[in-house]
Structure 1
């Protein structure tokens, strides 16, 4: 029988590393994907020392179109089959879209949208065969437009939409598909994006460990959507009561304060 594995992207730090820890703690063998091999090796050693199954390390950059082919080849070489897929890798950049580097912004789409979609479609059959699941890390940004971070917000809206559709489609095959939508989380994502958290971020903030815990439980319970933290839970509810134009202006003002 082929060994089952949980594939986790963006596993070198933050929410991804915490997701790797919680899956491993629940007896899942994990395959860790990220750009930085040294970070993955450190995390793998930690998981193994804690008594978890030995992780598989796949160092690659998901912004490269051939990266998913490399992941598939590495898993085949290890003789494992994906039971659970965790699409956590992603990044964003602050600034006005028309004034920022075009290639940098297309890179956001490559990682947040293309790679996530490619992995989800590539492993849909194995996940269905093993009655596993897909956990996609979206964002509270999925629910509204984001002037000042336009491409990132749009990419996360895509992630949420795709996840909900796959929840419906693949659910008929016994597959669990969950989208988790955290607010600003204190991770390296904020540093890369150029984000400076303030009081409003503190209201929405939940630790990476808690986000991972709720994401794992939500997936295992086949929840369509997980909103970690009270502050995050009320945002989609409140958005129903305001015109789209007002939300657009408010989101733009919020992003301006972060710069």
Structure 2
């Protein structure tokens, strides 16, 4: 099955963190494949789609700061009510994309920022998936959890981030087994370095990827939807990332951590 045909069976798509990067690319690509499909975005700010005004008009935005637990709970309630009463038919696709990282030895830049990372990267996808699970089980659907190639080994310099992504990876794979009998697919998406604002937001400077390195967000999204349509449960985006993950799996864990820490340090701008 191709992604376009797959999406015809869905009644709603929910994306978290659709204001930029991979989340925004998901919203744009899904709209391109199926312009009539209702799409939701959960993030602090409303995404801007100047190039696709039709998507801007169709988008349903639920403002939510995932570091605020009461706001997250309210967003879950609002989303479930809307899907139940306004869009009662069709499968549901939930894309847990929101997340961020920080650079430096733990707990830099500060402990609060690291604790908030747990809320955004771990608590939010668990809460949203749990809240939507009754509807997913009743109507069928799928969940894409955006993890990372950082999930496959410890990463000194991005200690907390890598640990949250390792949680997402293992949680997703376990869920995929639990939910398969209920007609709910779960895909762990593991992109490597991607040309988004991730590195700048992590305090690693802007535009630090060499021109030949990193994928475009659109390529990551296209691959993820193809993987979901084919029934995959794990998708590592990009051949170079597949090779990196395979190599890390053959190393002793401590050696893999040391290598990962060295690689991350190479991304740090000179003089920082």
Superposition TM-score, scaled by structure 1 size? 0.89
1:68 to 38, 62, 72: 72
The gaps in structure 2 that reach 5 residues or longer are 1-9
The 1:84/1:53 distance shift into structure 2, 3 A limit, reads farther
**Which stretch has the larger CA shift, 213-222 or 227-236?**
213-222
1:133 to 113, 133, 142: 142
| Residue 25, structure 1, aligned to residue 32, structure 2 | yes
The 1:16/1:98 distance shift into structure 2, 3 A limit, reads closer
The 1:130/1:48 distance shift into structure 2, 3 A limit, reads farther
Q: Could you tell me how far apart the structure 2 residues matched to 1:188 and 1:99 are?
A: 19
Q: Could you tell me how far apart the structure 1 residues matched to 2:194 and 2:12 are?
A: 27
Question: Over aligned residue pairs, what C-alpha RMSD do you find?
Answer: 2.2
Q: Could you tell me how far apart the structure 1 residues matched to 2:153 and 2:228 are?
A: 24
Give CA-to-partner distance per residue, 1:153-192, whole Å, 9 cap, x none. 0000000000000111101111110011001111121210
SS in 2 for 1:177: strand
**Which stretch has the larger CA shift, 69-78 or 164-173?**
69-78
1:147 to 156, 179, 189: 156
Superposition TM-score, scaled by structure 2 size? 0.85
State whether residues 67 and 116 of structure 2, in contact with CA within 8 Å, keep that contact through their aligned partners in structure 1: yes
The 1:128/1:24 distance shift into structure 2, 3 A limit, reads farther
State whether residues 176 and 220 of structure 1, in contact with CA within 8 Å, keep that contact through their aligned partners in structure 2: no
State whether residues 144 and 188 of structure 2, in contact with CA within 8 Å, keep that contact through their aligned partners in structure 1: yes
2:15 to 1, 8, 19: 8
- Give the CA deviation at 1:99: 4.3
The gaps in structure 1 that reach 5 residues or longer are none
Q: Could you tell me how far apart the structure 1 residues matched to 2:142 and 2:249 are?
A: 30
State whether residues 47 and 55 of structure 1, in contact with CA within 8 Å, keep that contact through their aligned partners in structure 2: no
The 1:244/1:56 distance shift into structure 2, 3 A limit, reads same
Correspondence 1:188-203 to 2 at 5 A:
188-196=197-205, 197-199=208-210, 202-203=212-213
The aligned counterpart of 1:179 is 188
- Give the CA deviation at 1:258: 2.5
Aligned pairs, how many?
A: 250
| Residue 222, structure 1, aligned to residue 231, structure 2 | yes
**Which stretch has the larger CA shift, 81-90 or 103-112?**
81-90
- Give the CA deviation at 1:130: 1.6
The aligned counterpart of 1:84 is 93
SS in 2 for 1:11: coil
- Give the CA deviation at 1:61: 1.0
